[in-house]
Amino acid sequence: MKSLKLYLIVGGVLFLIYIVAQFNRPKKIDWTTTLSNKDKIPFGAYILNNRLNDIFKGSKIITYRQPVYNVIAEDSISNSPYLIICPEIELSAADYKQLVKYIKAGNDVFISAQYFGRLLKKNLDISTEYLYTVQQKNMPVRFLNPALDPKRLYNIDKGIGNIYFNSFDTLHTVVIGENADHQANFIKYSFGKGSLYLMSNPKFFSNYSLLNTQGAAYAATALSFIKSTNRLVVDEYYSQGNGGNASPMRVFLSNPTLQWAYYIAIFSLLIFVLFEMKRRQRIIPVIEPLSNSTLEFVTVVGQVYYEKRDNVNIAQKKILYFLEYVREEYQLKTNKLDDEFVEKLTAKLDIKRSLANELVNYIKYITVQDRITDHELIELNQLIEQFYIKSR
């Protein structure tokens, strides 16, 4: 009991030291691209979510965590620009059909993603590509509108401007922006009375970019192409998923403080269970080990043979077991007990030839006897036992 308490105390102290070390350890920067308005990591979109009213003054910001079809068809939104900023987007056929219908009604839709999915690629003939360079070159971007100073380049590190459209329908597309290599990164499609804006560099709207003067200016200018109305619809579905799937455990594990509280509770519960189990454990009954009945069996069998006085049967069985042992252990044929067998037996076992000759000859003698005395049986047993000892 005392030793268990000592182990628990030492374990608890070490665990507390580990927790303190974890809390005071410098946190690694998470460079994951989430573009979630809840994330304050470099490539989250927390700043954008809090500064949208500075760009769309007077507009009511409405967020949705549902697919495009559900938002437009079921919630019946109208006369509202639709903003989607995410790492990648994959629209369904129903989503795309409803989105085109919404744009034709005179609404603007702005989508910024690194990958636009199979359906947009098929219907709009667009695809994106990442510019890989040996020296990790950061590609500057610019706007082509004469009123926006086409000579001004916006250059952010971390490869934020390195994704461009390597394919798009030039007959139905207006290029709004491009990189320094004249590769389009910001394009516009017209559907009826509205417009679809596509940008291949969503990281320009991340926290990291908006904390940079050039990045903030580029993001604000790009969003200014959207027509301003009394309401702006902001998508969270393609960056965070369906809001109905969030579980309480996800809330706990996403918050470092709650996460550590959860781990401490589990650890404390484990210590309590172990301590209580040790204190209230029932007395374990002493179980006698199973006795080895092999010796008793051999004694009984030997007694039976001895009382029957069948020395011939006993001698034959001993010879049979001996020859079987020679065959199994030394791979020697025992059908002929001649000089050749003696020679091989002597060579294999490295025993004296005299012992091998005496044993083989005695086996031949015993084999042909109709009656065997106790002395002869004892002599045979001694020779076989001597062979076993010498062969080890």
> CATH number for the domain including 159?
3.40.50
382 to 107, 315, 358, 386: CA distances (angstroms): 110, 12, 12, 6
- Per DSSP, helices labelled H in the chain are 2-24, 46-55, 68-69, 93-104, 117-124, 207-210, 213-223, 237-240, 248-254, 256-279, 294-308, 311-330, 339-349, 353-367, 374-391
200/261 same-domain check: no
Question: Tokens representing 389?
Answer: 């000892």
Who's near 110: CB < 8 A, 6+ residues apart? Answer: 81, 82, 83, 84, 197, 199, 223, 225, 226
156/70 same-domain check: yes
15/64 same-domain check: no
Q: Are 197 and 186 in contact (CB under 8 A)?
A: yes
Name the residue with higher pLDDT: 26 or 107: 107
Q: Is 114 a domain residue?
A: yes
Q: Is 33 a domain residue?
A: no
Q: Is 126 a domain residue?
A: yes
Distance, CA of 385 to chain centre: 62
Instruction: State the number of CA atoms in the 13 A half-sphere of 246 facing the CB.
Output: 11
Q: Are 169 and 198 in contact (CB under 8 A)?
A: no
In percent, how much of the chain has pLDDT > 90? 42
Q: Is 164 a domain residue?
A: yes
Q: What is the mean pLDDT of residues 137-157?
A: 92
Q: Is 306 a domain residue?
A: yes
**What kind and span of H or E run contains 190?**
strand 184-191
Q: Is 145 a domain residue?
A: yes
pLDDT range class, residue 180, cuts 50, 70, 90: very high
CA distance 163 to 132: 9
Name the residue with higher pLDDT: 80 or 251: 80
Q: Is 151 a domain residue?
A: yes
Who's near 29: CB < 8 A, 6+ residues apart? Answer: 41, 42
CA distance 154 to 199: 15
Q: Is 315 a domain residue?
A: yes
CA distance 139 to 160: 8
Does pLDDT of 296 surpass 80?
no
69/186 same-domain check: yes
Does pLDDT of 282 surpass 80?
no
85 DSSP 8-state letter: E
Range with the poorest average pLDDT among 54-58, 215-219, 330-334: 330-334
Question: At which residue do the structure tokens 């200016």 appear?
Answer: 217
CA distance 280 to 104: 75
Q: What is the mean pLDDT of residues 278-306?
A: 66
Q: What is the mean pLDDT of residues 143-171?
A: 92
228/259 same-domain check: no
Q: What is the mean pLDDT of residues 224-235?
A: 92
Domains held by the chain: number: 3
274/344 same-domain check: no
72/148 same-domain check: yes
Name the residue with higher pLDDT: 263 or 277: 263
**pLDDT at site 77:** 84
pLDDT range class, residue 85, cuts 50, 70, 90: very high
Amino acid at 294: T
Sign of CA dihedral 251, 254, 257, 263: positive
For residue 164, what are the domain limits? 46-246
CA distance 118 to 312: 92
Q: Are 81 and 227 in contact (CB under 8 A)?
A: yes
Does pLDDT of 62 surpass 70?
yes
Mean pLDDT across the chain: 83
Q: Packing angle between helix 374-391 and helix 311-330, nearest 10 degrees?
A: 10
Instruction: State the number of CA atoms in the 13 A half-sphere of 344 facing the CB.
Output: 13
- First CA to last CA distance, the chain: 51
CA distance 153 to 8: 63
Q: What is the mean pLDDT of residues 87-110?
A: 94
238/264 same-domain check: no
274/366 same-domain check: no
217/355 same-domain check: no
pLDDT tens for 17-55 read: 777 776 677 778 888 899 999 999 999 999 999 999 988
pLDDT tens for 312-326 read: 777 778 888 888 887
Name the residue with higher pLDDT: 362 or 190: 190
73/195 same-domain check: yes
Does pLDDT of 97 surpass 80?
yes
**pLDDT at site 105:** 93
223/264 same-domain check: no
**pLDDT at site 311:** 77
Task: Identify the bridge partners of residue 63 per DSSP, sorted by sequence position.
Answer: 234
Question: Tokens representing 70?
Answer: 């559900």
pLDDT range class, residue 280, cuts 50, 70, 90: low
Does pLDDT of 244 surpass 60?
no
**pLDDT at site 254:** 59
Question: Tokens representing 66?
Answer: 């549902």
